[in-house]
Structure 1
Amino acid sequence: VLCQILSQAKKHLSLIPIFVFIGAGGTGVALFVLHLALFNPDVSWDRKNNPEPWNKWGPNDQNEFYSMNIDYSKLKKEGPDI
């Protein structure tokens, strides 16, 4: 498949930017899925010792990939400890 892509790119030079953007986009998607798998509180890799990891998250823990207008370190806890 890679040989076919390279041969098409040599014949049609205008296809090279398309191949670059598709390759970079696939890498970005793969990194985002990896981030979700490792840092998402809904994912449990160790079900025996940590069956409900979302219960360990506090109000100051950031659970979004990027937050534009919320500083999680300055939030105060609302409600009692469980």
Structure 2
Amino acid sequence: MFFTKMMRAVDHPYITGPGGRKANNGKGSMQGLTLKSLKHHVALQPLFAIIGAGCIFVGAYLYRLAAKTTDINWRKEKNPANTYGYYDGKQFKFMNPSGIDYSKYGQDRPKFE
């Protein structure tokens, strides 16, 4: 009986009548998410631009981490010395504020082969 009362409450004009919640919720997407409404809401335009640029920079940084760091190995070689020796003498850091010369980096360590 309690369940049928709840089901009958859905047919109340507050929900399904003209100007009710169901009609208001079924219009489509929220304001500011379509190009037409985004042109009208000028205050949302910089927000979308900043969030979009942030997403692009995060994607570029993740690509750089996958492509340039020594933590990820994309080479398939049986000898690990060839794989890890690839970075000897190469700068793989994004910035070098201390001015370290990486051309001789890794040459002085012992070779374990």
TM-score, normalised by the number of residues in structure 1:
0.68
- Where do 5+ consecutive residues of structure 1 fail to align? none
Q: Find 1:24's aligned residue among 38, 44, 53.
A: 53
Q: 1:49 aligns with which of 77, 80, 84?
A: 77
Question: Structure 2-normalised TM-score?
Answer: 0.53
Counterparts of 1:1-82 in structure 2, within 5 Å, are 4-46=33-75, 48-49=76-77, 52=80, 53=83, 55-56=84-85, 57-58=87-88, 60-73=89-102, 75=104, 77-82=107-112
Contact 2:90–2:103 under 8 Å retained in 1: no
Tell me: CA distance 1:37–1:51, structure 2 relative to 1, closer, same or farther (3 Å): farther
Deviations 1:4-29 (CA, angstroms, capped at 9, x unpaired)? 24234222101111111111111111
Larger radius of gyration: 2
CA distance in 2 between counterparts of 1:66 and 1:10 reads 39
Q: What is the SS of the residue equivalent to 1:80? A: coil
In angstroms, what is the RMSD of aligned CA positions?
Answer: 2.7
CA displacement 1:16-72 (0-9 Å, x = unmatched) = 1111111111111111101111111111223x426743x2132x3223111211323
Sequence identity (%): 24
Q: How many residues are aligned here?
A: 78
Higher relative contact order (CA 8 A, sep 6+): 1
